Structure 1
């Protein structure tokens, strides 16, 4: 393939998949505002039972995804990333739509687990972009992908709340399935993976072979641990943001509306900044952007513990979005630059599993700390976690970069 044609192809793939992952981000998160309320319509539950089922149904998808993602990643390296993108988007379109037809909570739980089984749309989209994009442009490209998904993921609750208010919970699930079907057709007709070369070396068939193919396994697995801690830190805040808003507003005013705005602010900042930080990292060093993100996040989380009103909280949460743009997409960029193309699918799927584990650990950590101490303490502990991640990155990852 000529250089000009290759240059045109990766840019086209980037544009299409950025739109697709933005749509997927909305679809994945738009059911979150009313999932517990939907569960409550599926039976007669005590307060304790409703909390149990809400946590169970919410977490099930992440447990399954963390387990199956490496398997899908191996298949992506053998059969192609586009095929895995189509498999994930079509499978989840059917599953999400089916959630609107359930008659009891067990059926919903089974479908949430099945959703986890079909996971991999975003990780395989990132892997395809990482392998098709020139290395010197990978930071900017992956920053664009992550900002698109993050923006969709954090805007989704607004869309879901509006749809549920205008229609019903069940219709919203059907619309969500339709959104993922749009992502499927975009990928089917407009994404091309012309340069894919399937695994031919027998040694790369197993995990040991993949590890031996890495220039620095310690670096790669250190980055995955960094991903896990980033996700845990970010998600430790999620269970208590609306409760913190209620406390700051003294239980007066439209708490749900204000909470929704504050929840969306980091996504807006990330959407604006991730691609720019990625391009900057390509020029000055991706690791420097990550260190800046850790330092900024530590300061902002610590300050958030002492806010006196929702305006202060909103400003700090907006600024946190810029530090998010310095972290997760840049870690993926380092993984791209330090992994052989033949095993990119598995490396990205392992990193996705680390992210899912962080998604599980973070909310449990945040709600536990809030229960035994205070909302402010959640932000202080989160700041300490970020500092620990900075130390890990500085003395483990950077050491192996050099």
Structure 2
């Protein structure tokens, strides 16, 4: 896809490779910090006084999802500030803000305080999208697929290790102490970013900053960028729709078993392992053949993997298919980010990536909701079919706006 050399301006006064490795570690720490508390968040809600079974389920869902909801609301604001003040400042703001909130969560006395603080956590978050924006505006265009694919493995690997470590810490030190440990990890991320990340950025006066309408007017292909936002949402819907029913589906497949938690945990984690393996490799391939081809191919591959998930007869068949789905997911988001980079300027990159994060957060909220509604009405196996239909619609749309236009551009040249 040709966008013209004027759309990408790479900073030459910073070492983008060093920044990539530093913010990768920051994303790893952030991913680990967030997932440390995930295994026992419902237990913490219970500890704060919610003991009724139905109320516990409701409050656990609210406490979990409200962070993504408020992150979606705040992302455009932080993106605009990043375009004015720089991406490094947003990384520092996010890491330090989340560290302070985690300390306060560990001191919460009732579930309403917990809900408010989880909302505040969403408002102050944004380390990963700002890390993506920082690297995207520094890396040479021909290396963007590999760089963004590599960066995506940081948060994934942290999220994989976090639940295991969080469970062990909670067993040994108690639930509240894990929040204080998480705050320490986030503060380490703040210090690391402060001293090791370099950015050559000239602040932009507020009067010169574009509003949202001007941002989209500055894009060569605004409809294409909006389509990429929708693709991000659907990727997260496809990932999250399975989450609420995974353990119950595994129990249905395995029958009476004494190690349901272990089997479910293993099947839940294998997509992340696959993404770690596939993201840098497919990102590098995207640099050679075009990220739009990788995006469309992996959407089609996801459909072919989702459909047989509704037909599996045992948990290990599901595990293999989940691994393959994770390999596709590892390439999808970096491909979208590379295409956003190709179709926007550095002046608006912060907001474009923040808008994309907002759509991702909406997908994080709506995906589990879709899975729960479909499972309640038509059973577990229907969730995979419904998800495949949603991804199919997006694959057709992506082909129409990406591959088809690439062919037209090639003929025009």
TM class by smaller structure:
over 0.9
Equivalent residues in 2 for 1:264-303, closer than 5 Å: 264-303=269-308
Equivalent of 2:25, from 16, 19, 22?
19
Residues 219 and 400 of structure 1 are in contact (CA less than 8 Å); yes or no, is this contact kept in structure 2? no
Query: Where does residue 180 of structure 2 map in the other structure?
Result: 174
What does residue range 55-74 of structure 1 map to in structure 2 within 5 Å? Answer: 55-74=61-80
The correspondence for 1:392, drawn from 394, 397, 402, is 397
Tell me which moved more, 354-363 or 174-183. Answer: 174-183
1:203 positional shift: 6.0
Q: Give the whole-Å Cα distance in 1 for the aligned partners of 2:165 and 2:59.
A: 24
Q: Is 1:325 matched up with 2:325?
A: no
Q: Is the 8 A contact 1:61 1:115 kept in 2?
A: yes
CA contact (8 A) 1:155 1:267 kept: no
Equivalent in the alignment of 1:99: 105
Once the two structures are superposed, the pairs formed by residues 146-225 of structure 1 within 5 Å of their partners are 146-194=152-200, 196-199=201-204, 202=207, 204-225=209-230
2:362 pairs, out of 353, 357, 361, with: 357
Superimposed CA distance per residue, residues 122-172 of structure 1 (whole angstroms, 9 cap, x where no aligned partner):
110100000011111111110011122122223322222222122211111
User: Does the CA-based 8 Å contact 1:100-1:174 persist in structure 2?
Assistant: yes
Contact 1:154–1:263 at 8 Å: present in 2 too? Answer: no
Number of the residue aligned with 2:49: 43
- Normalization by structure 1: what TM-score? 0.95
Name the structure 2 match of 1:342.
Answer: 347
How many residues matched? 397
The aligned residue for residue 227 of structure 1 is: 232
User: Residue 199 of structure 2 aligns to a residue in which SS?
Assistant: coil
Aligned to 1:108: 114
> Distance in 2 between the 1:379 and 1:158 partners?
27
Instruction: Quote the offset at 1:85 in angstroms.
Output: 0.3
2:382 to 369, 377, 396: 377
Deviation at 1:45, TM superposition (A): 3.2
The DSSP-based 3-state class of the residue aligned with 1:93 is helix
TM-score, normalisation: structure 2: 0.93
The answer to whether the 8 A contact 1:203-1:210 is kept is no
| Unmatched 5+ stretches in structure 1 | none
Q: CA deviation at 1:202?
A: 5.0
Please tell me the root mean square deviation across aligned C-alpha atoms, in Å: 1.6
SS in 2 for 1:205: coil
Q: Deviations over 1:272-306 (max 9, x none)?
A: 11011111101011111111111111111111111
CA contact (8 A) 2:14 2:199 kept: no
Could you tell me how far 1:251 is from its partner in structure 2? 3.6
Whole-Å separation in 2 of the counterparts to 1:354 and 1:225: 7
Deviation at 1:348, TM superposition (A): 0.2
Q: Of residues 149, 156, 159 in structure 2, which corresponds to 1:143? A: 149
Query: Within 1, Cα distance between the matches of 2:25 and 2:91?
Result: 14
Contact in 2 for aligned 1:237/1:378 (Cα 8 Å): yes
**Aligned 1:257-268 pairs, distance under 5 A:** 257-268=262-273
Which ranges of 4 or more aligned residues in structure 1 deviate by more than 3 Å?
5-8, 197-204, 397-402
Q: CA deviation at 1:103?
A: 1.1
2:311 to 303, 306, 315: 306
